[in-house]
Structure 1
Amino acid sequence: MALLSVENLTMTFGSLVANNNVSFDVDEGSIVGLLGPNGAGKTTTFNCISGYYPPTSGKIFLGGQDITRAPAYKVARLGAVRTFQVVQPLKELSVLENVLIGAFLKEKSTLRSLEAANQCIDLCHLGPYRDVPAGELPIGMKKRLEIARTLATRPRLLMLDEAMAGLTVTEIKTAVELILKIRESGITLLVVEHIMEAIMPIADKVVVLDGGEKIAEGPPRTIIEDEKVIKAYFGAKFSKRLQQERQDGPAPA
């Protein structure tokens, strides 16, 4: 059953077409990767789903409810929350205070909000930094802090925008483990990511954009062999050479 349905999404900025007739579903309980080269329209798609941009045309449904033109705060209250490429925590506030902001979206009790915030902090391995000002954290921890804050809102759909960009190999492994734990808790994930090696093994489905249009959709094992995807990521020359090697076998070393 689809938790999120994007139907014929188009977003234009004057003469620039950032998204052109994009459609895809995100099934409840799944991890869906939204991939594509720089400028493909991935973040614009996120902005439309999360209520930051009203799309030029098309429809967006969350749990069957039309959220196409709902403002960001209403989309968040309905259970779709997102992180951002450039993390912007409230630097002077502690880790706990930052996460509490998310908890207060749906919870009015201070005690229950504290309990929820602390649970999310522990899940994201930030317990030792609970009272540290957010501005003092390194980038990897700031990204985990943003995830913890979104989790504190008790989302149905969590949208991660480049959550692994700029991380070390060890931090990427920790991020992948965290994503799997989040899915195990019953939360559906839509993940924008450039690091294909990280998202491909854990995604149930992958949607690939290029130039604002959807060029491929399906299981990771079929996406990595799709000629349009290879061309978008590695260029026409690489795609042509790969096709030739498939026909003739690899060239001798």
Structure 2
Amino acid sequence: MDDNTNISDGRRKGYDGTGTGAITPDGCAVEVWTRLPVGDAPDVIEGAIPPGASILELGCGVGRMTHPLADRGFAVTAVDESAEMLALVRPEVRTVRSPIEELDLGERFDVVMLASFLVHAGDTAVRQGLLETCRRHVAEDGCVLVQREGEDWHRNVPRESRIAGTDGVARIVSATPVGDGVNSVHAEYEFPDGTWTQTFLSRPLTTEVFERALADAGLRVETYLTEDRTWVRARPAD
């Protein structure tokens, strides 16, 4: 099921990507996202929310987390601004095409999920728009799950890692300061049959700044769900 809202197909400023196939407005190569493993994220999410909860997944991509969560009995509404990404989400899942910061479904969900480090958007107005969308759509007794970058993510460059379950390698090649506390991050994904790149803007956030940004959107951190503090459960502020 596909609900469309107003959307521009233009590339976001400061974001780019290369390689075969579709490239999304924020520089993601759709082909790469079909190959990346989901890891333990579904386990973290399942352990943090009630069974059978309704989930609004913001920035679902090709459904890496959508499908495991749906398989576990959660009612997922999957949102992305890329038609090419959403085309790969199972047809039985409700999908909505929209920039996250502009979304207003007029509905509330048990859980709103903002993963993939989207909270680190370089533009603070976009970041606050993302968090306000979370607050607008979460039930008063519900929760918001946010995935943050690791503390040394921008300092520990260059770095590379094997992509689990594939013959691929992921590299963060550089994180170059471009002013106002923002870095231009350049990533490469190399597989035997091709190489893809993504360049995007990312703003490192201390715990204090992160929690203040949530508070500005009417949310409060309830707990950090993982030892590395990258997954967070927040609640509507009283």
Give the TM bin, normalised by the shorter chain.
Answer: 0.3 to 0.5
- Structure with bigger gyration radius: 1
TM-score of the superposed pair, with normalisation by structure 2: 0.34
State the structure with bigger RCO (CA 8 A, min sep 6), 1 or 2: 1
More helix by share: 1
